[in-house]
């Protein structure tokens, strides 16, 4: 699949990637991405790919010219739904291709009431992606009554791998090497809710040392008062093997406590 390999190189640089998801607006409005183009212009030097929905991609004035890869997200749900974990497919692989996407992404909540439907759609979409030669990123999350731990994250990742995903996005967990050991495709960690920059960097450093291929960090970048600062720090950890302490010192922010 020459086309898929070429597109993967847009997203994964030497097997590693800093991905900026900005697909949150359907779930609920998020501070920092009211104007996605402003964020893209600020951080594009430090990210390898962005994830957005089709409406953002087709209306953007800057995405067409950015060097970073474009991943169009196919799933959606809102906080107002009876079951917010019920992710539905809201666009097609073909539409993403027409927008110039280098890849597509699908969200699956393992353990949710509608898990079986989400898994079914992931399997179908992976075959469509293979047909068109476009990479598929699967966001695999333990949800519902399932606790997020090494075993559940490992199982969620393995489901995405078994169903044909080319890149996996999963929550960070301790003993992350057990997660990467069961998937011979790139596994990136999710950034999660906005929190301490230092703790984020520590998680990323640890995950990278245990086989992760990078990060897919959204809120911790676009919710920041200085998105480019966080994106650059993540780039340095992922691509230059810097430690969290090195990055904080480089930025002139000494950690206290």
Alpha carbons 43 and 85: distance in angstroms, whole number: 30
Alpha carbons 175 and 189: distance in angstroms, whole number: 13
**Nearest Cα to Cα of residue 29 among 85, 78, 96:** 78
Helix (H) / strand (E) containing 133: none
Alpha carbons 107 and 125: distance in angstroms, whole number: 12
Active-site residue identified among 7, 154, 169, 229: 169
Alpha carbons 172 and 37: distance in angstroms, whole number: 28
Residues 254 and 244: beta-carbon distance below 8 Å: no
Alpha carbons 213 and 211: distance in angstroms, whole number: 6
Which is it for strands 187-190 and 167-170: parallel, antiparallel or unpaired? Answer: parallel
Active-site residue identified among 7, 23, 102, 166: 23
Residues 100 and 70: beta-carbon distance below 8 Å: yes
Active-site residue identified among 48, 102, 141, 154: 141
Q: Identify whether 4 is a catalytic site residue.
A: no
Residues 122 and 144: beta-carbon distance below 8 Å: no
Maximum pairwise Cα distance, the chain: 53
Q: Identify whether 23 is a catalytic site residue.
A: yes
Q: Identify whether 54 is a catalytic site residue.
A: no
Tokens of 182: 């069961």
Tokens of 179: 């997660």
Judged on CB neighbours under 10 Å (0-12, 13-18, 19+), 5 is exposed
- Point out the residues that are catalytic: 23, 141, 169
């Amino acid at each position: 699949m020459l086309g898929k390999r070429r597109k993967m190189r847009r997203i994964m640089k030497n097997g590693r990637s800093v991905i900026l998801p900005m697909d949150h607006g359907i779930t609920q409005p998020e501070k920092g991405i009211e104007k996605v183009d402003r964020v893209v212009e600020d951080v594009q030097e430090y990210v390898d790919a962005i994830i957005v929905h089709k409406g953002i991609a087709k209306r953007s004035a800057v995405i067409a010219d950015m060097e970073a890869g474009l991943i169009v997200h196919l799933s959606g749900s809102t906080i107002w739904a009876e079951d917010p974990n019920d992710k539905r497919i809201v666009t097609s692989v073909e539409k993403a291709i027409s927008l110039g996407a280098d890849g597509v992404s699908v969200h699956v909540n393992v353990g949710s009431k509608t898990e079986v439907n989400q898994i079914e759609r992931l399997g179908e979409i992976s075959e469509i992606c293979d047909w068109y030669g476009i990479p598929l990123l699967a966001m695999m999350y333990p949800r519902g009554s399932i606790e997020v731990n090494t075993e559940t994250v490992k199982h969620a990742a393995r489901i995405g791998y078994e169903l044909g995903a080319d890149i996996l996005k999963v929550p960070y967990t301790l003993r992350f090497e057990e997660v990467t050991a069961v998937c011979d495709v790139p596994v990136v960690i999710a950034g999660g809710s906005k929190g301490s920059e230092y703790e984020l960097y520590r998680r990323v450093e640890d995950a990278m040392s245990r086989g992760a291929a990078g990060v897919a960090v959204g809120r911790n970048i676009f919710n920041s008062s200085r998105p480019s600062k966080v994106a650059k720090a993540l780039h340095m950890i992922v691509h230059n093997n810097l430690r969290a302490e090195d990055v904080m010192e480089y930025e002139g922010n000494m950690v206290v406590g």
